[in-house]
Amino acid sequence: MQKSFREFLGIPIRDRLSKGLLGKVNDFVVNPANGEVLAFFTRRDRRLLLPIADISKVVGGTVWVENPEALATPDEIIRISEIIKLNTPIFNNKVFTVSRQYLGEVVDFRFEINGWMLTKINVAKKILGIPTEKKLINSSQIVRIKSNEITVRDAVVRVREKKLREKKIATNFAPAVFKAKE
């Protein structure tokens, strides 16, 4: 099942035994090399995280863990701390094509809960902070993720331009005439 970044923000993280609140999902750690979601930050100050491996299930808008001690500081988990040091955010990162055409910023992204893999990024140009010209780009089109930009294949733009041309042709047809039933 796919979920979006925005759907996950703020949902509670609870211990299955005590049902106690351990924190809330505040941000994600995504491996830029393969798009794997590695952990959730549980605080705004990014000092505490929950590795994906310690999640037992996600049900009804709640993340459930078996062990409340699964929450750790980033430097306690070496693999995740190395990814954090790369500082490669997905959300709000600028998106360009290989030929350097600016597509906008990531305003949301989707991931598969079963495998915790990035599946799509939702990109939009912003005018006065308001998203416009939204594009949904499949993760297979991502070439690389860096700290200051995400690069996607040029084919993303060509497909969109082709669809726009087809729409313009389709709108030139004469309007349909409906006859009332007698």
Task: Answer whether residue 181 is part of any domain.
Answer: no
CATH of the domain at 47: 2.30.30.240
Task: Answer whether residue 177 is part of any domain.
Answer: no
Parent domain of 55? 2-86
Mean pLDDT of the chain: 85
Residue 81 shares a structural domain with residue 98: no
Residue 19 shares a structural domain with residue 46: yes
The H-assigned helical ranges of the chain are 5-8, 78-86, 155-171
The residue with tokens 């669809």 is 163
Of the candidates 86, 116, 139, which is a domain's last residue? 86
The answer to whether residue 170 scores a pLDDT higher than 50 is: no
pLDDT per position as a tens digit, 64-111: 999 888 899 988 988 899 999 998 889 899 999 999 999 999 999 999
Residue 75 shares a structural domain with residue 117: no
pLDDT band at residue 1, thresholds of 50, 70 and 90? confident
- Tell whether the torsion through CA atoms of 172, 174, 180 and 182 is positive or negative: negative
d(CA 123, CA 93) in angstroms, rounded, equals 9
Q: Provide the whole-model pTM.
A: 0.77
Query: What average pLDDT does the segment 138-159 reach?
Result: 87
Domain tally for the chain? 2
Task: Answer whether residue 105 is part of any domain.
Answer: yes
pLDDT band at residue 182, thresholds of 50, 70 and 90? very low
pLDDT per position as a tens digit, 23-72: 999 999 999 999 999 999 998 778 899 999 999 999 989 999 998 888 99
